[in-house]
Amino acid sequence: MKKLSLVFVLVASPALAASGPFFSLFNTNFVVLISFLAFVAVLVYLKVPGKLMAMLDKRAEGIKADLDEARALREEAQTVLASYERKHKEVQEQAERIVETAKSEAEAAAAKAKQDLEVAIARRLAAADDQIESAKAGAVKEVQDRAVHVAIAAARDMIARQMTAQHADKLVDTAIAEVDAKLH
């Protein structure tokens, strides 16, 4: 700082440009130079440069502490970010596993439903076949019964037309004898 002040004093070209004797109290440039040197001397005597340096050092230490704190916060933030990224990845993997499980369960449920449907269809077809067979057997029995009734009616009509009183008495006597033989 002292060297810098001396360089400014020696380079002071306006002081050299003044008219008249330079080392006179009537020369304003000389008076200003002396005042400046006295001011610098007072600053040096009061240790202002040291105090300024101490203030600057203190500020530099504060800035360094702030930088260290910011660096620590940044590292902590990176750690937290990495932790969240790991958690996000784990959650994403878990979600993918859940989706895969749901898909496989849905496929299994669909296959089971298809199998159940096929079994139900087979049961209904079997029941329908049974109903058809039952209806067919009922229809055949009904046709047979109807045929028997028609045959009996036809035989009755035919017997009634061909039956004479003598023949009827003879049939009655034969039937009574047959019943009497079967009962004893």
Question: Is residue 149 in some structural domain?
Answer: yes
Count of domains in the chain? 1
Q: Which helix H or strand E contains 22, and what residues bound it?
A: none
Question: Residue 47 and residue 50: Cα distance in Å, rounded?
Answer: 5
Question: Residue 40 and residue 60: Cα distance in Å, rounded?
Answer: 25
Residues spanned by the domain of 149: 142-183
Q: Could you report the per-residue pLDDT of 50-86, keeping only the tens digit for each?
A: 999 999 999 999 999 999 999 999 999 999 999 999 9
Q: Could you report the per-residue pLDDT of 90-101, keeping only the tens digit for each?
A: 999 999 999 999
| 124, 170, 172 from 181: Cα distances, Å | 56, 17, 14
Contact call for residues 33 and 15 (beta carbons, < 8 A): yes
Question: Is residue 95 in some structural domain?
Answer: no
Pairwise pLDDT comparison (34 vs 171), residue with the higher score: 34
Query: Is this model's pTM higher than 0.85 or not?
Result: no
Pairwise pLDDT comparison (50 vs 146), residue with the higher score: 50
Tokens of 113: 């439903």
